[in-house]
Each structure stands twice: as C-alpha cells, then as structure tokens.
Structure 1
Amino acid sequence: MDGYGRMDKVEGGYALTFKRHFPCKPEKVFDAVTNPDIFVQWYPFATGRMDLHLGGKMYFDDGEGSEYEAVITELDYPRSFAFREVEDLIELSFQEEKTGAGSEMVFVHTFDDKEMAMYIAAGWHRCLDVLSQLVREETVEWKDNAEELREIYKEKFR
C-alpha cells in the first residue's frame, strides 16, 4: 500500500496531503489525471464531463441523482492541476524525481470539517491507489479496505 496521507491545520481549515511515486514521467501521470475516461475510473463521483481549461467546469454526481460542478483553478501542463469542488480545493502537482527514475505526485485536499478527516483520507487513499494502478497500466482493483483505513486515519489524526 502506498504512503499514508497526513493532515495539517491551514488557514480556513485542514489540508490532507498524499504523495505518490510513479515509474514514469510526470506527463503520463498528468495525462491520466486530466483524461476524462481515466478520471472517472479513480474518482467515483466524476461524470466524465470536463472542460479542460483554466476556469473550465468539471461535473460530478452526488450519488443521489443530482449533479454539481467544480471549477478548474489551475492548469499548468505537466506541473499542476487544481479545482474547487463545492467549498473544497483539490490540488495536484507533478515533478520528475531528481534521480530520473520516475515522478512524484503531491495531492492536497483542503477542507473545513475536521470530523470528516478520517473518512475523506480513507476515500482519497483508496482513489489514489486506483490511480496508481491505472498509471502503471495494472488491472484496477478497488480493495475492500475502507473501514481499516478509517481506523488508521482516526488514530493518525487524533
């Protein structure tokens, strides 16, 4: 299992940060994150409708039959991608590792409800594990580990 996320208190709320390492160039990871056909495979509420430009909209299903939108706030190929989803900010940055052996992605979700942190962290942990599988062109497997991850993050975020 890839690295666990950490939570920090930031202005206006909390930031969950995850790092993932990939055996490829940042361009490949950036393309996987911004390709609507791949995005829907690792981001469960995504509809696949994405207007990929700064200020463009992305659409999500709330799971109850309603759709909501996010706005792309940063798009700098292949270094960064960010969007504001409702009140939360999702930021991804990509860089080539100094050794040239691959790349690192830093994923940050800024939100305001600390009580939800263990649930949010467990969810993103699972999503990013699937993104890693997709980038590595492995068979996608959603592990049944949400409850276990929630308990780990509950302890971690005390």
Structure 2
Amino acid sequence: MDEKELSLLGNKTVYKSDYAPEVLEAFTNKHPDNDYWVRFNCPEFTSLCPITGQPDFATIYIDYIPDIKMVESKSLKLYLFSFRNHGDFHEDCVNIIMKDLIKLMDPKYIEVTGIFTPRGGISIHPYCNYGRKGTKFEELAEKRLFAHNS
C-alpha cells in the first residue's frame, strides 16, 4: 500500500458534524485479479429522522467485491459517523452510502443493508446493491436483489 494515498491514519481524529463524503479515502487493492468479499459492520450507526429530528439507530452492513480501489476503514468510520446529525430516511441513508462508495472505489459489486431499530413499533431493513454493468457482477446484483430475504 502506498501510504501517500491515505491521510487519516496516524493523525488526530476530527469528527464532522454533518454528512461528509469528502472524508472517504481509498487505497490500491493488491489483489484486483482475485474476486473476494470485504464486509464492514457498523453496529452504532445513527442518523436523524428528517421530519421529527429524532435519532434513528442501526447496524449497517457493507459488503463489496473490490476492483482497483478499496475503502480505508478509518475514513469509512468517520464517514458513517457523519450521518449522526444528518436527517434522511432509512432507505435514503443506505442508498447514499452505496452511491458514495461506488463513486470512491468503482467496485465490481457492492451491497448495503441497514438494520434499523424499531421506532413506533416498526423496524425497517432497507437493502440496496449494485453490480458493474455488462459483467457477471450485474447478474449477481440482480440475483441477490430478487433473492433478498427469501
């Protein structure tokens, strides 16, 4: 790994007070010829309801098959924490996370799941995914989407 690609590791941590996709950093994958899964689990994700301003809590799962770039975990942590004061619906949060990571890494495949704790007696578990167009990963995305929770 080329350390010049990363600026957050080893430095004082600064937490952003609102949605901050600019904190995301990527590094070069040493194994782009291998197809393999990377999973992140963020059990302390928090965002705000855009209507009431009340906090919503979730576990966010991010699974992806990298290509050339990979997300650096400290930057991902800071990015996910930046949702703490951000108002968006659950479904929006998972789609925003996925789209920001696609923009950062251009992965072969990615999926994001939010397991939100119940509020008002209802829990919401949004799921979104993406597979690179014209590849076997586009087919994987369709299969996993239509088989989700079956």
Q: State the TM-score, normalizing by the size of structure 2.
A: 0.30
| Structure of higher CA gyration radius | 2
Higher strand share: 1
Q: State the TM-score, normalizing by the size of structure 1.
A: 0.29
